[in-house]
Structure formats: C-alpha cells, structure tokens
Structure 1
Amino acid sequence: MYNRKSAGPSKELAYKVTSLASDGYSPHQHQQYTKYLQQLRNEFIERWCKTTKPAIVFSELDRVRTLGTGAFGRVLLLKHSRSSKFYAMKVLEKEKIIKLKQVEHTLYEKRILEAIRFPFTVSMEFSFKDNSYIYFIMPFVTGGEMFTHLRRMGKFDEPLGKFYASQVILALEYLHFCNLVYRDLKPENILIDKNGYLKITDFGFCKVLQGRTWTLCGTPEYLAPELILSKGYGFSVDWWSFGVLLYEMNAGYPPFYANEPMKTYEKIVAAKYRCPSSFSSDLRDLVRNVLQVDITKRYGVMKNGVLDYKNHKWFKGIEWESILNCRSPPPFVPPYKNTSDTSNFERYDEEPINPAAYCRFSTEFEDF
C-alpha cells in the first residue's frame, strides 16, 4: 500500500499521439501511450495519499429513488438541493460488511474510487458515514447497466461488441498500470453513459496488487481457472474475465454455465465451451487466445501485453486514441429524456435508511 503524503490537485485528462500508424498499433504509439499512463499512475498515487473533505453537506442530498440492490446495501438516486445535480449513492450497511468480513474490501473500494480517474471508470465525488452506514457518492450514469441492454437486445452485433470491448481493454490497461486488479468484470458492473460510452463500476473486489494474491472472489461464471484452483494469481484473472465478457456480449450468454457453481468451475478449468456459428473467424480467434487456461498463452499476460489486443485482426479499424477521447460515434446510445431519467434502471421497492442512535462498529470503520 502506498505511503501517505500531501499532494496537489490532479491534471485534466488529455492524450494525443503525434503520429498514427497506417496499420495496427505502432511501437511509437505504444511508447507515447505508456508515458501517458505513467502520468495517470502518478496522479493516482497522489490522490491515494491525499485526504480530502466533502465539498457538499450530506443533508443537502435528497433521496429520489432506488437504482439497484446488492449484498451490502443499495444504490440510490439523489438530487443536490442547491445545485440540482443528480448523483448515485451507494449505501453500505456496517453490520452486513462485518458479518461478511468485507471491511478491508470496503476500505479498498473507498480509497480506489477516490483515486482513479479514467474515461471508462466511475470515480467517487464524496463519501460520508454515520452511526450505521457508509455512503459513496458518485456521478449518476443515465444509461443503466450493460446487462440490461444486453438482455433487451439478446446479444450485441460485433461492431457494438467491438466498441465496448475496446473501452474495457483500455480501462483494464489503466487499472493494471496503477497496480489494481479488478476481479469482478461482468455486464452488471458496467454502466453506459448518456453518450453511449462505458463506465466500469463496483470496485468492491478491486485491490492494490504487488505480486500475487489468493483470495477467492468474483462471480462464478467469470472466475479464472487459476483463481478457482487456488494457485495464486495476478492481473491474468481480469483478462480471463474479459474473455468471458467478450463472449457473452456477442453470444448473449456466458461460455461457461451450469446449474451448480461446482459444475461451472469444472467447465472453466477444462476451458470447455463452444463458439456460436454467428461468431466471425476473427472473433473466434480472439476468444480462443483470451480463454486460455495456460496464462503464459493468454492475451494480455504475454510479452506484448495489451498490444496483442490492439493489433488483433478483430480490432482492425478501431482508432484507439479516438476511443480514449470518446470521439468515435457510438453504435448505440441509450434513450433518456433528461439528466434525472431512470427508465434504464429496474424498479425496486423503497426501504427506509434509519441510522442507529449510537455509533456502531466505530473501531472497525475508524479509517473511513
């Protein structure tokens, strides 16, 4: 974990290459982009080491409706009474975090959300806590979950899948460059903004990684073989999950599925799957190179790293700088009426949030 130190404000995101390759992603482009990632990593470390105070008052946030629910709490839509700006607030119940032994993960999530800044990841605006709850305040992303749109469409056509896949690759490249392993990539954890671009959310399993880790966490259908086999793992697990996501986006269902988790795990460890006939030959080749049980042969982990993706035939025609700067026309833009439109989210029964009269678990949550 990084040592604390004071730091100044971060710089604005801006990236431009001085020359473009005529075919594929050139070594020159890669060298320039690596320097840019180094800048972003330095800014990440600065924010990681800096303690900030909220610029708003919690009582100024008015509850609108529930956007989603999870194991630890729920996500609410809020409206700031003074600015009329809308936010999404993740409400985490201290007692549930304690019972599920997720205190360390929740602390990591808070610090990571405060420190990351990238076009395709959600960042945290403010955080609060009271006697019973932890509150993470983030921008409201009007387009809803990728999962919702994938189920509505049945599957994505390859141009749309390629558009989304390119953003996920850039996001994972950024996270890994900051020594962060994400560990829960899936359509439910990817939001689509009003412009049709992605935002990876829910960093509850994300962790600063130095070397290897052994924690079993994630979603069964998306777990990597090395994670299931308790071999110790690193960033390779995110690339495996990307392969599963790539398959599901283009097929409409995951490659490994069974009624029982253990049977799902058996299929994963054996890499037992079949591509639909609708997959192009280039997509089949890409999936095959990502869903590799042998991590020495898995795209994203080998000598060329992310260049194996950026120069793959399936991504031919993708302008990576244009994608990074959100300048490529999106193949799909979620319909929405205004900045508070919640039609892309499911409806949930509303439940009250009633903090206790005394501070609960004050020692465990002292660092929040």
Structure 2
Amino acid sequence: MFSRKTYASKELSLRTDSQNTTTSINDGYSEQQQQQYVTYLKQLKSEFDERWCQKPKYSIEFSELERIKTLGTGAFGRVFLLKHTKNNRLYAMKVLEKENIVKMKQVEHTLYEKRVLEAIRFPFTVSMEFSFKDNSYIYFIMPFVPGGEMFTHLRRMKKFEETLAKFYASQVILALEYLHFCNLVYRDLKPENILIDRNGYLKITDFGFCKVMRGRTWTLCGTPEYLAPELILSRGYGFSVDWWSFGVLMFEMNAGYPPFYSNEPMKTYESIVAGRYRCPSSFSTDLRDLIRNTLQVDITKRYGVMKNSVLDFKNHKWFKGIEWDAILNCKVTPPFVPKCKSLHDTSNFDKYNEEPVVPGSYCRFESEFVDF
C-alpha cells in the first residue's frame, strides 16, 4: 500500500419526520422525503449556529485525565488514548505543539478546527468533548472510536466488497450533506480520516482543513491523490471539491487503490486535471456509472453539485436498496464490525513508541492562541 502526505498552504434527535423504524428496502429517496429531511437539517444547522457563537464550558479538569498510550501520529501532532480517572470513560486526545503549528502556518486552520469540532453534532462525525492549552501545547479531546481507521481495514482486506463500500459511502454522503448545509467545506476526505466505531458505523475525523465558506475559496490544501481539478488549477472552488474527493474514496474502497496515483506528484495532478483513470474489471456497471458522474472534471456535470444535489446519489442505481433514514439512525446491520474485545481494546490501531509531552516553563506564542 502506498503512503500519502497531506499538504496545506446537547444530544440530538436523529429522526426525520418521514423516519420509518423498519429497515424495509426502498428504491431511492423521493423529493418529499428530501424536503422533510431538509427540515431536519435546518434544525441541526440552527443548533450548529448556536454552538458556533458560544464559548463552551467544561466540567472536568485536565488533571483528571490519565494518558494510556499513543493511537496515532501525523504531521501536526499525536493522538493519545486517555482515561478519566473518576468515571473511567475513555477519550482520544489530539496533541498539537504550538511551535509546529506556527512554523507550518496552521494557526488559522487549527483555531477553525477547534470551533468546528465544538459546533458539529452528527452521527457520522466526531465532535469535541473538551479542549485545553498550556505553555507549549493545545489539546483536543474527543470520544475514543475503538474500531480504528478505515485505511487500516482497507489495507488488511485489500479492497471492500461493494456491499460494504456502499454501506460506508451512504454515511459519507449524509455527513457531507450535513457539513455543507452548515456551510462547511471539509477538504480532506480519505480513508485515513474515517474511523469505524465498535458497532461498525463510521466517524469522519480530522477537521484541520475544514472551514466555513460562503462563495468561493482558493486555499491549496488536502491530500494530492484526492485533490479536485478546480483546486489544482487555482480557479477558486466550493463544496464541489468534497464531492470529487468522495468519488476518489468510492473508487479506492472498491479497488484498494485510488484512481489517480503516481510516484511523481505532477503526473498525479496531470491525470486528475485530465480526468484520466481506469476502473478495474471487477467494478459493476452501476458503480462505474456513479464514479464517472462523480469524478467529473466539468463541475456543472458533477454529482452533488447539480440541480438535484445529493438526490443524484440517493437515487442512483448503485444505492438501490439503501434505506437512508435507517442508515441515519444506525438501524441497519453493518456488513462488517471490527473486533473489539472491550471498550479499552486498542488492537485496531498501530503500535507506536511512546514520547513524553512536557510543557515548557513559560507560555509560548500566547498572542497567536489568545482566542483558543
């Protein structure tokens, strides 16, 4: 499996009015159902806006959290498993060093990530539980998702069966629909940023490149193999880039590798801009058609962006049989459930050498993080 690098320049009711508590098979999603679902999204958007404007108050102290082990590492920091010493609840803590953030010119992205995580609430995204800062580091504390990264399971299985890929894809569609309704562009969709919970459902994580957007933006960021043509060409872009990345994700889940990849980044970009890729012979006709309409260089013809918006996905033949409201409410039996012996099981994560996190004796970069 190739390696990738990323580059950068209250509880809710999850039922729509049309929710059916059964998991009966439907052939698509009607406009009436979508209208009712949009009413539900408006409720979520209102609650998002309310949280966005508030500074959260936390009920725990940082000293009450005990570090257990490292779950992952990345360009911007490390993720640790924590246990609350009073109630034994587990969390995942993302630790970012202020100096690295400033050097890599990621202060704005980091502050945005904090606000986004504090404001979003959706079944298929992670959310912030607590955040802290000290003299040298900032800390994002989120729920522990024990199933590990989708990337890990994809690497082990080589590729997903279409049934499993379809199950995951339906959740990603709903998550992107929610984020876009909240005026959030995600910009870093890939298997490494998708976690699988102990019940088999997914959680999108790592919102470092996510931002509130009205109109267009020009920032070059994301993972090379997942970048949309309009982003590479610096033409200004909107939510369209997330749907392109979704097309790449669908391809990779079903093939085991992305459609655009070369050891030379420029060749990767050339293939993306030209929309040049080849589907494996194992792809079904319906899957090929869906990918063709999603990996569409012409934005005016790309699924997710046209007049019918997400209904182009929800009513596509490849998704025939998906009960969208049942997926939303996690009422569908997942085709795959990660092995988790207990709530404390970390076997779905790679092993890492432990490194100390020692804050400095004085406050560093205080002005840059005064709004944290």
| TM-score bucket of the superposed structures, by smaller chain | over 0.9
Distance in 1 separating the partners of 2:12 and 2:156: 39
Residues 1:225 and 2:226 aligned together: no
Residues 1:345 and 2:346 aligned together: no
Task: Map 1:21-60 to 2 at 5 A.
Answer: 23-60=27-64
Q: Structure 1 residue 22: deviation in Å?
A: 5.5
Contact (CA 8 Å) 1:126, 1:137: kept in 2 or not?
Answer: yes
One-letter identity of the residue aligned with 1:14: R
Q: Structure 1 residue 363: deviation in Å?
A: 0.3
Contact (CA 8 Å) 1:191, 1:198: kept in 2 or not?
Answer: yes
Superposed CA deviations along residues 166-198 of structure 1, whole A, max 9, x for unmatched, are 000000000000000000000000000000000
Q: Structure 1 residue 263: deviation in Å?
A: 1.0
Residue in 1 aligned with 2:6?
none
Task: Map 1:287-326 to 2 at 5 A.
Answer: 287-326=291-330
Q: Structure 1 residue 10: deviation in Å?
A: 6.3
Q: What SS does the aligned partner of 1:253 have?
A: coil
Contact (CA 8 Å) 1:10, 1:47: kept in 2 or not?
Answer: no
Alignment partner of 2:255 out of 251, 254, 274: 251
Alignment partner of 2:165 out of 161, 164, 172: 161
Q: What SS does the aligned partner of 2:221 have?
A: coil
Alignment partner of 2:192 out of 175, 188, 194: 188
Task: Map 1:133-152 to 2 at 5 A.
Answer: 133-152=137-156
Residue in 2 aligned with 1:5?
none
Distance in 2 separating the partners of 1:48 and 1:136: 16
Distance in 1 separating the partners of 2:195 and 2:265: 26
Q: Structure 1 residue 11: deviation in Å?
A: 4.4
Distance in 2 separating the partners of 1:144 and 1:243: 22
Q: How many residues align?
A: 360
Residue in 2 aligned with 1:237?
241
Residue in 2 aligned with 1:14?
15
Q: Structure 1 residue 14: deviation in Å?
A: 3.2
Distance in 1 separating the partners of 2:131 and 2:350: 25
Q: What SS does the aligned partner of 1:333 have?
A: coil
Q: TM-score, normalised by structure 2?
A: 0.95
Cα 1:343–1:117 shift into 2, 3 Å = same
Superposed CA deviations along residues 284-323 of structure 1, whole A, max 9, x for unmatched, are 0000000000000000000000000000000000000000
Contact (CA 8 Å) 2:132, 2:139: kept in 1 or not?
Answer: yes
Q: What SS does the aligned partner of 1:43 have?
A: helix
Distance in 2 separating the partners of 1:10 and 1:67: 27
Superposed CA deviations along residues 34-80 of structure 1, whole A, max 9, x for unmatched, are 00000000000000011122111100100100000011110000000
Q: What SS does the aligned partner of 1:101 have?
A: coil
Q: Structure 1 residue 18: deviation in Å?
A: 5.8
Q: Structure 1 residue 15: deviation in Å?
A: 2.8
Distance in 1 separating the partners of 2:68 and 2:17: 40
Q: Structure 1 residue 24: deviation in Å?
A: 1.8
Contact (CA 8 Å) 2:16, 2:36: kept in 1 or not?
Answer: no
Q: Structure 1 residue 16: deviation in Å?
A: 4.2
Contact (CA 8 Å) 2:128, 2:141: kept in 1 or not?
Answer: yes
Q: What SS does the aligned partner of 2:67 have?
A: strand
One-letter identity of the residue aligned with 2:323: E
Higher RCO (C-alpha 8 Å, min separation 6) = 2
Residues 1:129 and 2:133 aligned together: yes
Q: What SS does the aligned partner of 2:50 have?
A: helix
Distance in 2 separating the partners of 1:326 and 1:302: 28
One-letter identity of the residue aligned with 1:78: L
Q: What SS does the aligned partner of 1:68 have?
A: strand
Stretch of structure 1 that moved more, 49-58 or 296-305: 49-58
| Structure 1: runs of 5+ lacking an equivalent | 1-8
